[in-house]
Amino acid sequence: MNMGDRMMNKISWILVFVFCVGAGAQVIQKHWVETYSWQGFGTLSTDPFQVFGKEWRIRYKTLNNGPLSVTLHHMDNDKATTVVSRKNGRTLGFEQYKFSPGEKFLFVQGSLGGWRVSVEQYVDSVEEWNYLRYVKQKPSLEKRAAWAGESSREISHLSDRVWRLEFEQVGDGLLQIQVFDATGTMIYDSLTSKAGNKGGGWIYAPGTYSIKITTSDVAWCVYALTAADAAKETAEKK
């Protein structure tokens, strides 16, 4: 092998080394990514979510003066952790956590002045890809019940599984949607005022619930939804 061949061979190995180091850096490079966010007026339980980064945090803020309480629930062991609990004023901050497996959700109790809560994760490219795959593979939802009206009404709804409440405001005016469990505890509360407004929240325990609609001649629609696969399994058993 002459001098020129040896030189080309050496350069080739250097290029391979640089490429491998660069590829490795792309995999291990970590950055903060907002992976989930919710904004509301009142009280609700968020969508279920999982984390994939070794570190993650919950950001929270009130949009106006008012109380804010956020509780982190671990669905695999029913463990609940207080993230923040403020009785008044403007609230802004975050709490950081180490990775833990399993699905989680947040229970947010805020004023009708509004709030925003988000989940951020410190991930590399592989962990971010796993997050995107998790979101993509979430089951779609099917409507199990629907109600509509133009005046105040109280509805009783029985569910034997996790379900989601959704509503749509059809006309302008004040519309308040509340959900109470069998003990009378309020687990969902929202107040809107404009046509086209939509909202909703999750209910994570089976049971009988009271859906209370309070309005003055505002048209509305309310829906109860469950995961599509769960709805199909129920239909096949009948």
Determine the Cα–Cα distance for residues 16 and 22; give it in Å rounded to an integer.
10
Q: What is the pTM of this model?
A: 0.83
Digit-coded pLDDT (tens) for 14-45: 444 444 445 444 556 899 999 999 999 999 99
Residue ranges of domains in the chain, CATH in brackets: 31-136 (2.60.120.380), 141-237 (2.60.120.380)
Digit-coded pLDDT (tens) for 92-117: 999 999 999 999 999 999 988 899 99
Determine the Cα–Cα distance for residues 103 and 230; give it in Å rounded to an integer.
17
CB of 210 within 8 A of CB of 180?
yes
pLDDT at 14: 42
Over residues 66-77, the mean pLDDT reads 96
CA distances from 140 to 37, 143, 158, 198, 237 (A): 19, 10, 21, 18, 20
Name which of 156, 132, 134 is nearest 145 in CA terms: 156
